[in-house]
Structure 1
Amino acid sequence: MVVGDFAEELQTVVIGSGPGGYVAAIRAAQLGQKVTLIERGNIGGVCLNVGCIPSKALIHAGEEYQTSLDSSLLGIETKETTIDFKKTQAWKDEKVVRPLTKGVEQLLKKNQVSIIKGEAYFVNSQTLHVMFDDEKGQTYTFEKAIIATGSRPIELSSFKFNKRIIDSTGVLNLSELPKKLIVIGGGYIGTELAGAYAKLGTEVTILEGMDQILMGFEKDMVKLVEQNFKSKNVKVITNALAKKAEQDDQHVTVTYEANGKEEQLEADYVLVSVGRRPNTDDIGLDIAGIETDEKGFIQVDEQGRTNKKNIFAIGDIVPGLALAHKASYEAKVAAEALSGSKGAAVDYLAMPAVCFTDPELATVGYTEKEAKAKGFDAVSNKFPLAGNGRALSLNQTTGFVRLVTEKESHTILGAQIAGVSASDLIAELGLAIENGLTAEDIALTIHSHPSLGESIMDAAELVLGQPIHT
């Protein structure tokens, strides 16, 4: 390892090019920093290559397949629908993932961000060594750094990853459509991918250790997903402990315990989706003196600054939900702080969380229970999508919009949406919370007709005791 006079000097370094890293690099460059981005894999990180984006592509493919099966309801008769899964995977890779990752690379170049392909290790708090391959490397000194190395799936000791026991990356890149799939873990990733494959015709079983799937969402929202799973023949087994797996060339048999009894299930593949761990254990943080907690998360202040004042950390490697948009948000704050802004600081109240199940689930701000725990005199009002004309015309009336407001002022404290396009609709309510708006503000905002957005206006009118459509 070469250090000292032979080290190349850099100003600002960003390690990792996911939705945290590439956004941090671009924003820092826009603010006058000379930025170098270091990436050991593909530009775009997990999210663009093997996470958020490809999973949504498969979810959409499943929705299209289901639409063709159900089209007779609309008077559209089709011949038997078939799936060429290799073509589906090729579309996902060539028409969705590749254009996005190439686009990010062009954005980096446009903003004059230099890119180094290699694996970075800290030598000290102002020096990095980057290995380009197994033999070649280079040492760099830097003034400032943002660590955005992301996370990886947790591997269970009794379910080591291999050909038939796979993680989220593996299940997104299967060359064949499984006849049967077991999903261990009913969180965001597990339920989304279970739903995607169920819509494509796979027989899916979810084994969840808690008493419900999707613990981050309220029960009445989760119930809608469970009902949809039943209609797609997805079996959800809660309070289940997956114990071991036995496999041959074609199948995997999982032994699990539920209700005091041991049972067995057989499938083509097992997806293990029990959480993710931060990629902080092999980059020399201890050598650089950067503090982490017992789980490996880097400790940061409200600007993303670590205990080393010139080094910041963002995304999955810091405490909080592992969300791509959280990483991008933290990236902008850290880039501004690194560039000299003293007022930049994170505020997570209006941070949405979305799950692309069927129906979609989205939440932002406080639930009613959380708001009351914070001392607010909070109430909630729920408008059903069955009362929305656009939802009816889409034949997707399952779900609701719920507003959590302060009783006297009608200030919006939180919102939950279950239903079609919840992932898009939640943005309006995030904006409302961010700006301290009231139900009156939304009710007085003219919403186009017919639109799903009208359901938010209707929910606001319900808060005011002046509902038109319910």
Structure 2
Amino acid sequence: MTTFDAIIIGFGKGGKTLAVELANHNWRVAVIERSNKMYGGTCINIACIPTKFLAHQAKQVQVKEVQDPKVQLAHYDQAIQQKDELTAFLRQKNYNNLAQHENIQVFDGTASFVSDHEVQVTSNKEITILSAPRIFINTGAEAVIPNIAGIRKSQHVYTSTSILDKKKLPKKLAIIGGGYIGLEFASIYRQFGSEVTVLEGGPKFIAREDRDVADAVYDVLSKKGIDIKLNAKVIGLKDTQEGTVLSYEVAGNAEELHVDTVLLATGRKPNVDGLNLEAAGVKLDERGAIQVDAHLRTSVPHIWALGDVKGGLQFTYISLDDYRIVKGDLFGNGTRHTADRINVSYSMFIDPPLSRVGLSEEEARQKGYSIKVAKLPAAAIPRARLIQETDGFMKAIVDADTNKILGATLFCAESSEVINMVSMAIQMEQPFTFLRDHIFTHPTMGEALNDLFFSIKA
């Protein structure tokens, strides 16, 4: 048995950042990662970085208005190669950052608890028992595989992880699930030239957004040639020589869809299988996530959970903030906690991107606020005209009694950057006039916040 000051299970954003922090405090740290393809975590290997890189490359294809299938295939092949090079570079960099630290030892293998202080690491070569007074779980999440007939036998079904390794551009792609992950892939592959059909089981398109926002996104994606079907219940799949036949129902009517590729975008679940949490006394919640308190301690006080494995928002920047909470708990005053996350912004990287922070109009009304609503078409923004990306609009919700910004939804070019300015204004509890009267550079999408909030009377 080898003893460390801390064991970190998983090489994700929170875990890897914490490992360096602990090591810099002269702790001896063991980091366990089951796959050498996941050094650095989900974000850089199978999520944020590769998907947004492909989204950027796909957009370049669209700008060129490429119609020749051979040219489209060549663009896709080049994009996949460049994506692989990028992730390989970042993966190696992340590995070196830890492995070359004198106080960190990286173990390749599968981790499982033996007790609340001991973890077994199983690799192809050997079984090793590690022990530490403090343990941190950062194992992320994995794709949910729905119970659909034929789905596990099909040779043409991919998850959001495995499709990133697909070398050949799909001709006809069916995406099961119309959430944010599904729509991002729909936008990417349509712009590369695939025929894309999205099958959403629910009656509402992107249900958590206001209907004017959802309708605008639906219209833009439909105009790009993405076929979106609501209330579509997938019954089964059956492979053929050409691909697969996907059977589904809409309002009780049976339909079939012939495609060569199927993407499952039906959600992700905490990755706890094989950890043997029972041996450590770590409890799960009703959704299968690790239970944690406001400081990310599990039911066992000397074991913490960070990132997607604890449930909640599945963003890499949340995992990074988890590190800040644990750092403060261990070395600071412990005042930072999960309840601080009142207004967390997010972006869906379709084209144009959809970004949001705070309350929607519908949510604000449900909570009983008296509100003012501001809207500005993207076509009215000089920068949008300049870059020839005029789809969408900006929308903001303001408390009529206090003039504080309650939320904003930006469906326009570069919204993933602009939303951060709105988020900071909300966090600082500034009135909407703070952004209305701020001096921005020109011509930028950010300066449109002047015009957006100018439409509201103080």
Scaled to the shorter chain, the TM-score interval is over 0.9
Q: Secondary structure at the match of 1:175?
A: coil
For residue 144 of structure 1, report the CA deviation from its aligned partner. Answer: 1.1
Tell whether the 8 Å contact from 2:11 to 2:41 is kept in structure 1 after alignment: yes
Q: Secondary structure at the match of 2:363?
A: helix
- 2:143 aligned with 1:150: no
Match of 2:246 among 241, 251, 254: 254
Who is 2:432 aligned against? 439
The aligned counterpart of 2:91 is 101
CA contact (8 A) 1:243 1:255 kept: yes
Q: CA deviation at 1:82?
A: 4.1
Counterpart contact for 2:154–2:237, Cα < 8 Å: no
Supply the distance in 2 between the matched residues of 1:373 and 1:217 (Cα, whole angstroms).
14
Aligned pairs for 1:24-43 within 5 A: 24-30=18-24, 33-41=27-35, 42-43=38-39
Output the CA distance in 2 between the equivalents of 1:350 and 1:33.
34
TM-score normalized by the length of structure 1 = 0.90
Amino acid at match of 1:247: D
* CA distance in 1 between partners of 2:374 and 2:120 (Å): 56
Q: Which amino acid aligns with 2:44?
A: L
Between 329-338 and 229-238, report the one with greater CA deviation. Answer: 329-338
Return the offset for 1:48: 1.2
Match for residue 313 of structure 1 among 297, 305, 311? 305
Query: Quick check: 2:433–2:453 contact (8 Å CA) kept in 1?
Result: yes
- Where 1:224 maps in the other structure, the secondary structure is helix
Q: Map Cα deviations across residues 293-324 of structure 1 (whole Å, 9 max, x no partner).
A: 23211111111111111111122112312222
Q: Which runs of 5+ in 2 are unaligned?
A: none
CA distance in 2, matches of 1:252, 1:463: 53
2:77 to 86, 92, 95: 86
Shift of 1:461: 2.3
Distance 1:26 1:217, change over 3 A: farther
Q: 1:415 to 1:429 in 2, by over 3 A?
A: same
Q: Which letter maps to 1:39?
A: E
Aligned-pair CA distance for 1:109: 4.9
CA distance in 2, matches of 1:328, 1:356: 20
Check whether the contact 2:177–2:198 (CA below 8 A) recurs between aligned residues: yes
Name 1:21's counterpart in structure 2. 15
1:160 Cα deviation from its structure 2 partner? 1.5
Asked whether the 8 Å contact 2:358–2:406 carries over to 1, the reply is: yes
- Answer yes or no: is 1:138 the counterpart of 2:128: yes
* 1:375 Cα deviation after fit: 4.7
Percentage of matched positions with identical amino acids: 29
Aligned partner of residue 424 in structure 1, secondary structure = helix
Instruction: Output aligned runs, 1:147-226, within 5 Å.
Output: 147-158=137-148, 159-160=151-152, 162-226=154-218
Output the amino acid matched with 2:17. Answer: V
Structure 1 position 398 matched with structure 2 position 391: yes
- Cross-structure match for 1:380: 373
After superposition, the CA RMSD in angstroms is 2.2
In the superposition, relative to structure 1, how do residues 417 and 26 fare at CA in structure 2: closer, same or farther (>3 Å)? farther
- In structure 2, the CA distance between the partners of 1:268 and 1:360, relative to structure 1 (3 Å rule), is same
Q: Which residue does 2:400 correspond to in 1?
A: 407
Summarize the Cα distance change of 1:436–1:29 in structure 2 as closer, same or farther, 3 Å threshold: farther
Amino acid at match of 2:209: F
Cα distance, 1:99–1:224 mapped onto 2, change above 3 Å = farther
Secondary structure, in 3 states, of the residue corresponding to 1:427? helix
Indicate how the Cα distance of structure 1 residues 462 and 146 shifts in structure 2: closer, same or farther if over 3 A, else same: farther
**Alpha-carbon shift at residue 162 of structure 1 (Å):** 4.6
Q: Helix, strand or coil for the counterpart of 1:306?
A: coil
Give the count of matched residue pairs.
Answer: 451
* Distance in 2, Cα, partners of 1:291 & 1:195: 39
Q: 1:34 to 1:378 in 2, by over 3 A?
A: farther
The corresponding residue for 1:126 is 117
CA contact (8 A) 1:281 1:296 kept: no
Q: CA deviation at 1:35?
A: 2.9
Aligned to 1:4: none
Letter in 1 for 2:121: V
Deviations 1:342-398 (A, max 9, x none): 212122212112111122111111223333444543332122222211111011112
- 1:458 corresponds to which residue? 451
Aligned match of 2:232: 240
| Structure 1, 196-205 or 44-53: larger mean CA deviation | 44-53
- Do structure 1's residue 57 and structure 2's residue 53 form an aligned pair? yes
The 1:29/1:456 distance shift into structure 2, 3 A limit, reads farther
Query: Residue 286 of structure 2 aligns with which residue?
Result: 294
- The TM-score normalised by the length of structure 2 is 0.93
The residue type paired with residue 56 of structure 2 is H
1:20 is paired with a residue of what secondary structure? helix
Deviation of 1:46 (Å) = 2.3
